[in-house]
Chain A
Amino acid sequence: MLRQGATRKFQAYLLIITMLGFGATAPAMADLVPTRDLVNAEQVDAKKDQLRSMFAREDVRDTLINLGVNPENALDRVDAMTDAEVASMVENIEAMPAGADALGTIAIILVIVILLDVAGVTDIFPGL
């Protein structure tokens, strides 16, 4: 798996070199203004953007795998995200809420009981 990651990184670097070289010798290609830019007046450097997105996707895939997601599924999961979603995952996946369940109810009750105890309303834990 590590090896596969390394290969992909290598391919990405190769692509950068190719693109940089290409960019130096040939003019930009004529093209349609892509849908992504239709609502955005700013000109974006498509090549730079594509590269950034590629690395970001790689990043998110690795992060998901580190968080226990099956490597076989990680790529498909990243592929279903938009560039903007990938970018925000890179930026703050750690801080993102992960909707789980109400299983923590018991913990909440425990906290409240402790607070009540500390406040002197109850005396379930005589030491507090």
Chain B
Amino acid sequence: MRVFSLVLLLNLVACTTGTVTRLQNAELVEYQSPALLTDIPFFPQDAYQCGPAALATVLSASNQSTVPDELVDEVYVPARQGSLQIEMLASTRRHGRIPYLIDPDLASLMDEVRNGRPVLVLQNLGLGWFPRWHYAVVIGYDLAGEELVLHSGLRRNYELNMNVFERTWNRSEHWGFVVLTPGELPAGVDEIRYLEAVAAFEPLADFAAVEAAYLAGIRRWPDSFSLNAALGNSYYSQGMLQDAAERFRQVTTQHPDSADGHNNLAFVLSELGEYQAAMDHAGRAIAIGGSRIELYRETLRQIQQAMTR
């Protein structure tokens, strides 16, 4: 028993893999100068409310003023005495902001901070077998001093050793997100993850915000099939048929082999009464085929019916 306890104790104190040494040399140079966001609001919070507090911090920093008390009803789960990750993201959407999960590594985290965006992170302050899950907001870093700066619980500008942070963050699989105002892009951005973030935001948002978010992505990836097609779908759902057709036309020009693109263009053209062009594109979609070919055939049948009406 004594030996076992000693092993446990050693485990507690001996996990000293250097986080900073694991950063690539190029990264060490890139993040050499320290960064600190000085105008990030702080909501000291205890009594299990670090979820609402951390969320209020990043929302306020994104000019969406709120306080933790307003968010308790949106994220707090009484029986769990805490807040779930999914609900942190969902609540962000309800406040007109897009939550974007960062790449799970320290360089990506520092990248966002350097670009002026605080990062909400989930840490396990305890151990794997004795978890103490905790949300905090990273607002600065100092690579030379091996420190990160956080608003965390009751501590404002809490300077935490990077290695300690890395161990606590590692236990959440490096989970963290930034809050985007529609139209902004994060520092490190993945096209498909961005599309998914905007698509998840879409049902809860004003159309203008959705359009701004898709257009920001399209400016970054002008040739993106999925972002252009998704915007086309949004225009269609707003009844903006001409805009939708224009988007889908662009998609099929840039990606002539996309059956989905041709199907969607055909569908919209048919509603605009441009039956011949609609038939052509439905035909292209069927010729290309794929797992959704039945849907394309249905589109063609519907166009033919509409023509004879």
Could you list which residues of chain A lie within 8 angstroms of chain B, going by C-beta atoms? 27-39, 41-43, 64, 66-70, 73, 76-77, 79-82, 85, 88-89, 93, 96-105, 108, 111-112, 115-116, 118-121
Contact of B48 among A76, A100, A120, A121 (CB under 8 A): A100
Tell me if A97 and B81 are in contact (CB < 8 A).
no
Tell me if A99 and B78 are in contact (CB < 8 A).
no
Tell me if A100 and B81 are in contact (CB < 8 A).
yes
In the complex, whether B106 has a CB less than 8 A from a CB of chain A is: no
In the complex, whether B172 has a CB less than 8 A from a CB of chain A is: yes
| Chain A residues whose C-beta falls within 8 Å of the C-beta of B196 in the assembled complex | 39
The 28 sampled A-B contact pairs (Cβ below 8 Å) are: A30-B298, A30-B303, A32-B263, A33-B295, A35-B202, A38-B225, A38-B229, A39-B192, A39-B195, A41-B291, A43-B294, A67-B80, A73-B73, A77-B87, A77-B90, A81-B86, A81-B90, A85-B90, A97-B172, A98-B83, A98-B84, A101-B47, A101-B82, A101-B134, A102-B134, A115-B8, A118-B2, A119-B2
Tell me if B81 and A98 are in contact (CB < 8 A).
yes
Chain B: how many interface residues by the 8 Å CB criterion? 80
| Chain B residues whose C-beta falls within 8 Å of the C-beta of A121 in the assembled complex | 9
Tell me if A98 and B192 are in contact (CB < 8 A).
no
Q: Nearest CB to that of B135 among chain A residues?
A: A99
Known: A28-B295, A108-B132, A112-B12. A35 touches B90 (CB 8 A): no
Q: Nearest CB to that of B127 among chain A residues?
A: A108
Instruction: Beyond the given A32-B264, A33-B263, A81-B87, please list 14 additional residue pairs across the A-B interface where CB-CB is below 8 A.
Output: A31-B267, A31-B299, A35-B229, A36-B199, A39-B196, A42-B291, A68-B77, A80-B93, A88-B86, A96-B84, A96-B85, A99-B135, A101-B45, A101-B153
